[in-house]
Amino acid sequence: MIILYLLYSYMPFLSRKIYFPVHIDNFLCIYLISVFCMGVKMKKKEFVSAVFTLTLSMLIIQATSMAFNVFVSARIGSSGMGLFHLIMSVYNLAATIAISGIPLAATRITSALRRKSDAGCVLKKCLTLASVFGGGAFCLLYLSAPSIAEKIIKVPEGVIPLRILACALPTIAISAAMNGYFTGLQKVSYITVGKMAEEFSSIFITLILLKVFGTRNNPCTLLSCAIALSSLLGCILNGVMCFLSVKKCCAKSVVSYRKVLNVSLPVAAGAYMRSALNTAENLIIPTALTRSGITDALSRYGTLKGMAIPVLTFPYVFLHSLISLLIPEISGRFALKSKKSVLRAAKLSLTATFLFGTVVASVLFIQGRRLGFALYKNPEAGLYIAALSLLAIPMYIDSVTDGILKGLNQQVYCLKINVIDSMSRLPLIWFVLPIWGVWGYIAIMYISELVNLSLSLARLKKVLAQ
């Protein structure tokens, strides 16, 4: 089974780490790994070059997004960040439904074709299914927006942003399917160009809207418009690149809808579960904080989720290339039954990650308060950054451990751990936060990550000992 869950398996709060303006379909490195694991004969030099290109582009996107996140937080404040984070949590669940594993199916089936001239037929099937799932997700979110805003988010002003974001779901699904197709054909540059164009257009559109309309009304509406418009532009650009790269579709279909769904739906089921649990967690946090007597629960939620945590997770981008190379490398050595080689690679990777995490944790612990004030002019954000700093060590190690386990064909076990972890966090949040507030949530994050890491390391030790 191909590894789709890499990006989602960092940890529950990390899987949606930055909301400005990165979208849910940012699976570039995952697609590349999928191609490698399916047996595509890509030379190691080409593979490393492709991963480097994707990592560099992701670094540029994430750095720009981080800077833009700081800019937007200064304009809309911590309360606005909190509200938009809640809205995006709902949107990400809808986007997971819209995507439904179709990109992975496009990658796997396209990469396995004997005749690449038949890829157009695969693309046609995948685009049709993406349109169906995207359209269904659009209807679901658009029609349920009033109920979600009033009864779940409990902010009536969220109806319009949710409905605007619903309009982006079909284009998100179609773009994701085309990205899967590009990866199956090893057209990494197409993915990079399309993704960067979409992200930077989102920033540009947001700047224009904020300049013209300001933030006096509902700023979440403007941000939602920027996401929807940039998604449309990205879809159009991907469509143009598809048109230029697709050869004439074969007369006889080489793939059926059933085959595409057989690949996509099992993966989608796990993604649905994880996304639903992540959304539920994000939605109950403000309510639990309010029960503790905090009057500005949404503001504190925005400070923690929208300001502090993105700083903690940003350095992870530098580990992306390691994990991208690690999974296929471990898989290859494991297939050759070279246990000593696998053990050596695992030890080296975990040691390097520990050192990297220690450096990041030290910097954030010492400079956390200064960073919070320098980036957000918010002392509370700096306090949270410093408090979360030591979490970088187990968090990064856990991510790499998951990557090693998936290289050892243990992705189902990783999924179970993450689902159990997410499910156990929900009751803890509901009962602990009313007593200890934000600090209770930070404690839960530490406990959850340490337990997750312990289970992953125990499993890794057991697998390597067999």
Residue spans of the domains in the chain: they are 18-283, 292-466
Report the pLDDT value the prediction gives residue 18, as an integer from 0 to 100. Answer: 34
Report the pLDDT value the prediction gives residue 54, as an integer from 0 to 100. Answer: 64
Quick one: pLDDT band at residue 110, thresholds 50, 70, 90? confident
Closest CA to 318 of 24, 4, 27, 56: 56
CA–CA distance from 199 to each of 20, 21, 125, 239 (Å)? 9, 6, 27, 17
Report the pLDDT value the prediction gives residue 224, as an integer from 0 to 100. Answer: 94
Lowest mean pLDDT among 139-153, 163-177, 284-298: 284-298
Higher pLDDT, 123 or 49: 123
Report the pLDDT value the prediction gives residue 20, as an integer from 0 to 100. Answer: 36
Percent of the chain whose pLDDT exceeds 70: 81
Give me the residue label for tokens 């539920």.
280
Bond from prior residue into 21 cis (ω within 30 degrees of 0)? yes
Report the pLDDT value the prediction gives residue 3, as an integer from 0 to 100. Answer: 36
Report the pLDDT value the prediction gives residue 314, as an integer from 0 to 100. Answer: 87
Quick one: pLDDT band at residue 57, thresholds 50, 70, 90? confident
Report the pLDDT value the prediction gives residue 386, as an integer from 0 to 100. Answer: 95
Using the predicted structure, report yes or no on whether residue 15 has a pLDDT greater than 80.
no
Quick one: pLDDT band at residue 249, thresholds 50, 70, 90? low
What average pLDDT does range 297-310 have in this prediction? 90
Report the pLDDT value the prediction gives residue 32, as an integer from 0 to 100. Answer: 43
What average pLDDT does range 290-309 have in this prediction? 89
What average pLDDT does range 95-114 have in this prediction? 84
How far is Cα 305 from Cα 13, in angstroms, rounded to an integer?
A: 9
Closest CA to 103 of 212, 217, 194: 194
Lowest mean pLDDT among 72-76, 80-84, 271-275, 327-331: 327-331
Lowest mean pLDDT among 107-116, 130-139, 274-283, 398-407: 107-116
Report the pLDDT value the prediction gives residue 328, as an integer from 0 to 100. Answer: 60
Using the predicted structure, report yes or no on whether residue 28 has a pLDDT greater than 60.
no
At 326-382, the pLDDT tens digits run 666 676 666 667 778 788 888 888 888 899 999 999 999 999 999 999 989 889 999
Higher pLDDT, 16 or 290: 290
Lowest mean pLDDT among 36-45, 76-85, 269-278: 36-45
CA–CA distance from 351 to each of 22, 316, 356, 357, 448 (Å)? 30, 16, 9, 10, 22
Report the pLDDT value the prediction gives residue 25, as an integer from 0 to 100. Answer: 37
Q: What average pLDDT does the structure give for the chain?
A: 81
Quick one: pLDDT band at residue 205, thresholds 50, 70, 90? very high
At 174-204, the pLDDT tens digits run 999 998 888 777 777 787 788 888 888 988 9
